[in-house]
């Protein structure tokens, strides 16, 4: 079974230069660091597109420790958006409610014991704030499912995420090609970016169609009938 690979930045640059027909970065209208900026811009733009689709791409889980008398729990450094927070209980995990309780009073004496402790949470910076404050420590007491922000690629060999459709790589490359040709148009005053723009538009549509629905499990819609309540 084929597996998705994580293309390196150098791999992306090589493909982009091949499309631009300028394989030698030392003899090129565009420097590597400029093309890298376009690559990273594309990753940010289409990451937000994938996030809106909400089909689990870029999503992972992490176990977090609860510390006695500490109201905050640091989130992973790559956390962009928290989907769910669970509290570890004896027979599994229980979902915790999100409540932005910054306008309510609270006690600093701590909540109940770890087994019966069921806080709510809100966010402060890149941390969860637990209410009430825990009065005991618990290793891996919380589990979070969250959306990872893809790493910014730095010239020198970083790899791009392999979590998304293979079209994601092609879309990133074509976006960089489009931005490069757009610059050439603006500098030289001759329209040379139209073909790249058309290719980008076609790839973008194919990408949206490919990632829109991951599950093939059948779904059913119940007809609306006011008489049946």
33-60: pLDDT as tens digits? 999 999 989 988 888 888 887 778 788 8
**pTM for the predicted model, two decimal places:** 0.73
> Which sequence spans correspond to the domains of the chain?
9-56+151-211, 59-148
- Terminal alpha carbon distance of the chain: 49
Assign 76 to helix, strand or coil: coil
Express each pLDDT in 89-109 by its tens digit: 988 999 999 998 777 777 776
Residue burial 31-50, b: 16+ Cβ < 10 Å; e: rest:
ebebbbebbbebbeebbeeb
Give the phi and the psi of residue 9 in degrees, each rounded to 5. -60, -40
Count other Cβ atoms within 10 Å, centred on residue 64: 20
Give me the DSSP letters along 164-192.
Answer: S-THHHHHHHHHHHHHHHHHHHHHHSS--
| Residue 153 scores a pLDDT above 60 | no
């Amino acid at each position: 079974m084929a597996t998705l690979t994580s293309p390196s930045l150098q791999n992306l640059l090589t493909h982009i230069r091949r499309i631009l027909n300028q394989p030698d970065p030392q003899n090129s209208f565009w420097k590597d660091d400029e093309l890298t900026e376009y690559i990273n811009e594309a990753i940010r733009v289409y990451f937000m597109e994938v996030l809106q689709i909400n089909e689990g791409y870029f999503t992972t889980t992490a176990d977090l420790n609860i510390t006695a008398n500490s109201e905050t729990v640091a989130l992973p450094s790559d956390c962009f958006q928290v989907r769910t927070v669970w509290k570890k209980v004896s027979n599994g995990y229980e979902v915790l409610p999100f409540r932005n309780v910054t306008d309510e009073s609270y006690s600093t004496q701590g909540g109940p014991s770890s087994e019966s402790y069921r806080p709510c949470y809100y966010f402060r910076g890149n941390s969860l704030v637990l209410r009430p404050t825990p009065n005991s420590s618990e290793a891996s007491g919380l589990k979070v499912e969250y959306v990872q922000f893809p790493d910014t690629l730095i010239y020198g060999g970083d790899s791009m995420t392999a979590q998304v459709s293979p079209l994601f790589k092609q879309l990133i490359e074509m976006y960089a090609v489009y931005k490069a040709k757009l610059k050439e148009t603006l500098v030289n005053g001759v329209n040379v970016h139209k073909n790249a723009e058309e290719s980008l538009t076609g790839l973008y549509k194919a990408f949206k169609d490919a990632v829109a629905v991951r599950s093939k499990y059948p779904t059913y819609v119940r007809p609306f009938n006011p008489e049946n309540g």
